[in-house]
Chain A
């Protein structure tokens, strides 16, 4: 494999992106009205203006704060309930099906009820984000506990471990890799919940920005908002990966 052919995908990708931008510019100028498809330069200008004025950063900060704390709360609650469900088969038999049902309840459908109960503050938004994260992490954690190989539990007993010791020296670490994966999935769903909440409970944040810009037909603003959201979402997962894969004490739990 020569150097040039192993770099080929990058060239193709670059060509693709350049083509896309050129097509975009052409279409926005000659084919599609400004309100629907603004010119790339307009979008860039808007982005710069929003950054300078601080609007972009305020929105990002509001959104990040919500999604982070909601996610953290959901993860903690999820690990606890997941461990309980995984360990206690009887509890799982009864409550497991409820979870199956809850998985199908889209977070956005809960926003109006949350607002009705708790008003338009940070709390209902955090609650919804925490809720969906909780469901996802619980399911992963419970699966993780169930998947601990029987052999491993027996090996630990042979080495003199009591039931309690088996739990925190073998079951917990064995579950850790599932928990870490669940937490990562939780990030994606947390962002969906964030947007859901920000669309309806209008306030500040990226969701609000996107929604509001539609009312005022400020399409470049909308695009900047959407792209920022996307970058934020994938950026969050990227940071998560960096932390869990590169901190040795954590990365060892992602080994199987």
Chain B
């Protein structure tokens, strides 16, 4: 059997068929709406523009949190990778943060910042910062010592070697970190929206729950899945296209 490239198509068909069957078996649209019903609901939201308002809100929160978290996290990570002392100083907090997912901190953020955008931004920032710090630190640690020595023999030493050799060498790890942070970031944004927001897909899900309208819930869940997938694939695509030398497929 040569399924190959058609796999995702068959998969999608299978998915919707299974969905339809599931909805049929339950019977009432109050509990399990059919795919078509959800699609109609989506169209309605798209017409009024509401859908895009929600999409924009969710994406914006993700973008802001990551835009700040990534550079700061990567910087700390590189610094920790470079200096034993710095690493020893910050490692306890990194470990603690690692065991404490951002979701667990949502109430804390809401307490500090109220039900505001800042609370949501800070949570995404926390996630991105941590993931990038870990990735960057690992990336720096993985640079073959041989490569640093090679630079040294060419007359490039110390801080110069760090910025010209070590940091670029850790780029692939940082890129992987960005990818991971995106995935986790979406999870956090959703959670933050579900627990206190007035727009966004997470809010849509909660709205659906309050109004006993599962269609909204499904629209929210599905949109989030699509966004995650799109962001992930899009990111990979961009790397391949614009920065192929950093793609993880090539060993740097």
Question: Interface on A for B, CB 8 Å cutoff?
Answer: 8-10, 12-13, 15-17, 20, 35-36, 90, 92-98, 100-110, 112-113, 115-117, 188, 191-192, 195-196, 199-200, 207, 210-211, 213-214, 217, 219, 222-223, 226, 229-231, 233-234
Contacts and interface: CB of A to CB of B under 8 A. Distances in A.
B243 interface: no
Secondary structure dominating the interface of B: helix
Contacts of A210: 104, 107
Interface of B: 1, 3-4, 6-8, 10-12, 14-15, 31-32, 84-85, 87-93, 95-96, 98-101, 103-108, 110-112, 183, 186-187, 190-191, 194-195, 201-202, 205-206, 208-209, 214, 217-218, 220-221, 224-229, 232
A113 B217 contact: yes
Contact of A112 (B7, B105, B110, B209): B209
A101 B225 contact: yes
A234 B95 contact: yes
Contact of B99 (A117, A196, A217, A233): A233
A106 B191 contact: yes
| Most chain A Cβ neighbours within 10 Å, of B87, B104, B194 | B104
Contacts of A192: 101, 103, 187
Nearest to B208: A112
Contacts of A196: 103, 191
18 contacts: A13-B92, A90-B3, A93-B6, A94-B14, A96-B11, A101-B225, A102-B225, A106-B191, A108-B190, A109-B202, A109-B205, A112-B217, A196-B103, A199-B195, A210-B104, A214-B108, A230-B104, A234-B95
Contacts of B214: 113, 116
Given A9-B87, A90-B1, A105-B221, A229 B14 contact: no
A94 B3 contact: yes
A214 B111 contact: yes
A214 B232 contact: no
A36 B194 CA distance: 22
Contact of A104 (B4, B99, B195, B225): B225
B11 A109 contact: no
Contacts of A100: 229
A15 B208 CA distance: 50
B18 to A, nearest CB: 9
A101 B229 contact: yes
Given A97-B8, A112-B208, 19 more contacts: A36-B112, A90-B1, A93-B11, A101-B226, A105-B224, A105-B228, A108-B191, A109-B221, A109-B224, A110-B221, A195-B103, A196-B103, A200-B194, A207-B104, A214-B108, A226-B105, A226-B108, A230-B99, A234-B99
